[in-house]
């Protein structure tokens, strides 16, 4: 059995103004305590316990967690806000009717815990496992959104079934023409178009430029946060559909390893200046992370394969071809969608190599890789002679 850890965001249900104000006041005290700790040397800081803050009204378990947080974040010089946090011994989660309650005490010397109702939203299935002992609680953090809504961030760990054998692999190609393309082995592909995302990126860029010229920096920051939330929501929706697609067909998911693509993939200045085409702003990795944790929860295996030649190789035989925009063309004139071809290569990846008879594919190979074969494939006769002359 594998272990999955989730962080649940649970807004408080009908939290009155007095409790909200008290949360804000105690958070301010907690932040002041943290900033006082940062003024001390790290060695002295590690020796402290909650007994050194007996004059603070916040409970000792909350203060101890604040001390641990300050020791962990050694590079921080000053906290603007440090949310109140406590480990799993300082609170309890129970079910009350259709709602769940979170019980805790914030004050020093008070043993009674006050239950507060929270919205379970889409987390009911996970929260139901807590009273049954099927899920283990982690830390709890009290935080406030920018709209002034207080919520509890609860960490929950639970065991999920190990991934079993799969019928095959669905390759997932990520790009800018299509956010993702998932293709069944030798079958159809599902496309998530990127047109809407490009339009949104460009619209935000245009609005941001106008606000920057007007020196409205705070509004620019809020706009950037809104753009980030929209893109995160899109990635969440796509990742959920990818996992469901894999479950429906009893297959696993394969992604190409895009580690370091921003450093290795060159872009023209004109391309970078366009928010719709600039690869630096695309959340490729976030989509993979969201898909992975959803897949683990659903028992769907996920793998990563090397990225080289997945877009340039013909999915039928692994021979290098030509990619031009949305289309891929094989050495024999075969044409197909380039992203679908790449997703096929990712799904059936076993390492790429060219056939031994290179006479028909030599012109294409010469354009793609004139100095040698692909992934240790044998050299042609002319290439062997050229390499021998160079070594001589």
Residues 299-358: pLDDT tens digits?
899 988 888 888 888 888 888 888 888 889 888 888 898 889 889 988 887 655 444 444
Phi-psi region of 282 (alpha: psi -120 to 50; beta: other; left: phi over 0): beta
| Tally of structural domains, the chain | 3
Same domain flag for 65 and 152: yes
The string of DSSP codes covering 218-282 is: HHHHHHHHHHHHHHHHHHHHHHHHHHHHHHHHT-EEEEEE-TTHHHHS---HHHHT-TTT-GGG-
User: Would you state the structure tokens that stand for residue 198, as one six-digit string?
Assistant: 């490009």
For Cα atoms 89, 95, 97, give the angle at the middle one, nearest 5 degrees: 160
The boundaries of the domain holding residue 57 are 2-160
Q: Are strands 150-160 and 135-144 parallel, antiparallel or unpaired?
A: antiparallel
pLDDT value at position 373? 38
Give every strand in the sheet of 322-324, ordered side by side.
322-324, 327-329, 335-337
Render pLDDT for 31-53 as a digit per residue (tens, 0 to 9): 999 999 999 888 888 888 888 88
122 and 184 in a common domain: no
What local confidence, expressed as pLDDT, does residue 26 receive?
94
Which region, left, alpha or beta, applies to residue 295 given φ > 0 means left and ψ of -120 to 50 means alpha?
alpha
Check whether residue 186 and residue 273 sit in a common domain: yes
Query: Are 358 and 285 within one domain?
Result: no
CA–CA separation, 387 and 339 (whole Å): 35
- Same domain for 290 and 174, yes or no, is yes
Looking at the structure, do residues 86 and 189 belong to the same domain, yes or no? no
150 and 107 both lie in a single domain: yes
Same domain, 328 and 294: no
Listed residues 101, 131, 160: the one ending a domain: 160
Can you list the residues of the chain whose pLDDT is less than 50? 353-380, 383, 387, 390-392
Q: Please give the pLDDT value at position 385.
A: 53
Nearest to 178 by CA among 284, 304, 84, 329: 284
In a domain, 392, yes or no: no
Are 23 and 143 contained in the same domain?
yes
Angstrom distance (rounded) from CA 194 to CA 90? 45
User: Tell me, what's the pLDDT at 137?
Assistant: 93
Q: Determine the Cα–Cα distance for residues 255 and 263; give it in Å rounded to an integer.
A: 19
In-domain check, residue 96:
yes
User: Cα(194)–Cα(299) distance, rounded to whole angstroms?
Assistant: 28
**For residue 142, which of 120, 168, 124, 116 has the smallest C-alpha distance?**
116
- Separation between Cα atoms, residue 265 and residue 271, nearest integer Å: 12
Rounded CA-CA distance 4/160 in Å is 7
Tell me which of 106, 129, 160 is where a domain ends.
160
Do 191 and 339 meet the contact criterion of CB atoms below 8 Å apart? yes
């Amino acid at each position: 059995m594998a272990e999955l850890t989730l962080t649940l965001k649970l807004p408080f249900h009908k939290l009155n103004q007095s409790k909200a104000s008290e949360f804000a006041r105690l958070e301010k005290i907690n932040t002041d305590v943290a900033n006082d700790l940062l003024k001390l040397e790290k060695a002295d800081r590690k020796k402290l316990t909650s007994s050194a803050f007996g004059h603070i009204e916040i409970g000792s378990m909350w203060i101890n967690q604040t001390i641990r947080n300050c020791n962990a974040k050694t590079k921080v010089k000053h906290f603007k806000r440090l949310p109140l946090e406590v480990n799993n011994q300082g609170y309890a989660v129970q079910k009350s009717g259709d709602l769940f309650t979170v019980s805790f005490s914030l004050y020093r010397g008070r043993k009674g815990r006050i239950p507060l109702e929270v919205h379970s939203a889409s987390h009911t299935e996970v929260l139901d496992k807590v009273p049954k002992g099927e899920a283990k609680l982690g830390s709890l953090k009290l935080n406030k959104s920018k709209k002034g809504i207080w919520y509890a961030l609860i960490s929950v760990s639970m065991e999920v079934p190990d991934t079993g054998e799969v019928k095959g692999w669905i390759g997932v190609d990520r790009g800018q023409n299509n956010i993702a393309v998932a293709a069944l082995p030798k079958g159809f592909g599902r496309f998530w178009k990127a047109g809407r995302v490009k339009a949104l990126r460009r619209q935000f860029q245009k609005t941001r430029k106008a606000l920057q010229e007007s020196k409205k920096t705070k509004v620019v920051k809020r706009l950037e946060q809104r753009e980030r939330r929209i893109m995160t929501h899109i990635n969440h929706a796509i990742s959920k559909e990818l996992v469901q697609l894999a479950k429906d067909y009893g297959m696993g998911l394969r992604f190409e390893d895009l580690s370091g693509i921003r450093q290795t993939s060159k872009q023209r200045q004109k391309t970078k200046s366009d928010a719709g085409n600039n690869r630096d702003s695309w959340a490729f990795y976030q989509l993979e992370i969201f898909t992975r944790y959803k897949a683990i929860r659903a028992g769907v295996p996920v793998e990563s394969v090397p990225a080289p030649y997945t877009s340039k190789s013909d999915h039928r035989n692994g021979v290098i071809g030509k990619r031009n925009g949305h289309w891929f063309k094989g050495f024999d004139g075969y044409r197909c969608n380039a992203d679908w071809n790449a997703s096929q290569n990712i799904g059936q990846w076993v390492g790429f190599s060219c056939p031994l008879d290179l006479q028909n594919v030599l012109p294409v190979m010469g354009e793609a890789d004139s100095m040698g074969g692909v992934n240790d494939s044998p050299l042609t006769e002319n290439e062997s002679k050229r390499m021998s002359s160079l070594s001589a």
